[in-house]
A and B are shown apart, each in its own frame.
Chain A
């Protein structure tokens, strides 16, 4: 029993160490440790609390709804705003009035224009990209379009929010059987057609169904540089179906045919826009189909010999009978200014009680504007004499009064007017 003391000391030391150990654990271990596993549960909440930097496109739409709607319809509808404009958390905080953070307007500014390089991130031609994805070799593209300045940005021609200018909403485009191009399988366009080669697998081509249109198209210069799919944009959905978009938007035609400083002047034929279509009072320029309005009838033959002004010389007199039968034809171009803008049923708002006094001033500058309604003889239908009076009227008025009588003068002048001189 001599060692009894030693054993007690040993046990008390072990017990003491254990108590110290538990006490240390109690103080050092975080309170939320082990709640859902062997980790600090509060860490989870800390990670959750971090701020969101990249904004959702719907957040952008709260203020920029007009651009969002435009963007939503076109081919880029799936590209979120952040991809081009950046994260946008500072921008949103500033314009929602989070003034506490001390953000300046310069910091809140988001990139508006995008570099040439930015578009090529997605659209540079690479073998690894899916073949149905639109991609370009920049050099070839500029050579084809005869762009002389190689530093020209994509956005000079393509609006990033509506890059393809489709007449059909992308989401509503038509499902169509798969149409193949020879080059999808062959490296170069083969000399023989698929029907001339033995055991060639059957394929769809545009001309199989739309033979007349394709024949017309192939005989004209457009066919050297484009094919059907340049305009009728085509997107392969799977092995058997694809989507076809109607693409007749004026902006699409203008990609090649608008006069711009960085393009070759002569080829392809260029027009000045918007002066090409003339007076904006008569024809609305916002119409998306405006090119096709005149050039549509034979668009595949590209027979574009339409006169500058499609109307005859004495059109104002003749249009009444034409419009009565073919009102729809007029409205192809005159969408905003229809009949009623000229032929108003009620008096114009300006023609109030005092108009009689005021109208000479107005008429002196805008005689043609009066003639839209008072067309027969203009001023002379009321005044019976030339209005306003010519310079030498002082000498010649004697003859006029002799023929037409004094009462005519009293329409405007007081009766004492003659006595002032005579």
Chain B
């Protein structure tokens, strides 16, 4: 009798332990809400922001090349490009971006001993909260998505080019193959599949970062709490969401 009782006790113990483990598994599984990226209401939980760390950029142009391939950007146009600023002893400034830096930079513009300060600044669409480009569109093709990304409806666009004129950062262009305006979409097709934008994915120095500004625990918010940053042309009131670390007065 004694033996059987012990066996039953062990059995009971094992079954109850298994029950507790299974139960807790389901309890935790339910607590994780799944986000449906095709529903507009769920998209309102996101505000995508972008950080460019100019102190880390090495001007290799990997981002430019990746963007070109990912978005089929026509030659001579760029959705993202890298600018080089060089200051010499006599306060002369040279800014250049040969072919958008798609093949990086070849040599210094000034003599090496003359240069006192030099750095790279990668540029892309700022995805402004009060964007000038969406306001001028006469056909409602240029719009701001619920997760605050400035996009273009390519079927509605008539290619008038008002938005290209309106953008103070020169981030838009007319794609002459399609006859419509086009611009950086923050790789809208990638970010909703769990991938980083092509330029962020390609950056070998982590100079580009990307994340949700509404989430207080996101990496981008933590960097913004630690580092000093600025935006381009703040006086225009466009309220850009692309933040630059180590920005210089001359960068516009």
Contact = CB atoms under 8 A, between A and B. Distances in A.
Interface of A: 33, 35-41, 43-54, 56, 76, 78-80, 82-83, 86-87, 117, 120-122, 124, 126-130, 133, 187
Contacts of A49: 189
Given A40-B156, A54-B202, A48 B37 contact: yes
B112 A50 contact: no
B103 A121 contact: yes
Contacts of A44: 40, 145, 151, 188
Contacts of A45: 38
Nearest to B185: A47
B40 A35 contact: yes
Contacts of B145: 36, 44
A79 B204 contact: yes
Contacts of B55: 130
Contacts of B156: 39-40, 43
Contacts, number: 125
B56 A43 contact: no
Contacts of B201: 54, 56, 80, 82
A54 B103 CA distance: 18
26 contacts: A35-B40, A36-B40, A39-B140, A40-B156, A44-B151, A47-B188, A48-B189, A52-B70, A52-B190, A53-B70, A53-B198, A54-B70, A78-B204, A83-B202, A86-B69, A121-B61, A122-B204, A126-B59, A126-B105, A126-B108, A127-B108, A127-B118, A128-B105, A129-B120, A130-B55, A130-B58
Contact of A40 (B56, B85, B105, B153): B153
A82 B70 CA distance: 11
A373 to B, nearest CB: 54
A44 B37 CA distance: 10
B204 A43 contact: no
Nearest to A47: B188
B228 interface: no
Contacts of B153: 39-40, 43
Contact of A80 (B115, B141, B202): B202
Nearest to A133: B58
Contact of A52 (B140, B193, B202): B193
B198 to A, nearest CB: 5
Which of B60, B84, B151 has most chain A Cβ within 10 Å? B60
Contacts of A82: 66, 201-202
Contact residues on B (Cβ < 8 Å of other chain), bracket: 35 or more
B211 interface: no
A41 B40 contact: yes
A162 B161 CA distance: 48
Contacts of A127: 86, 108, 112, 115, 118
B104 A122 contact: yes
Given A78-B206, A127-B86, A87 B189 contact: no
B46 interface: no
B119 A128 contact: yes
Name the residue among A54, A79, A83 with the largest chain B CB count within 10 angstroms: A54
A78 B62 contact: no
Given A48-B188, A87-B69, A87-B70, A38 B143 contact: yes
Contacts of B112: 127
Given A44-B151, A54-B69, A128-B120, 7 more contacts: A39-B153, A40-B153, A47-B188, A48-B38, A48-B188, A121-B60, A121-B103
B45 interface: no
B24 interface: no
A38 B140 contact: yes
A54 B198 contact: yes
B118 A128 contact: yes
A78 B202 CA distance: 10
A82 B198 CA distance: 10
A80 B60 CA distance: 13
Nearest to B114: A127
A49 B140 CA distance: 21
The 3 A-B residue pairs with the shortest CB-CB distance in the complex, in nearest-first order: A39-B143, A43-B153, A128-B118
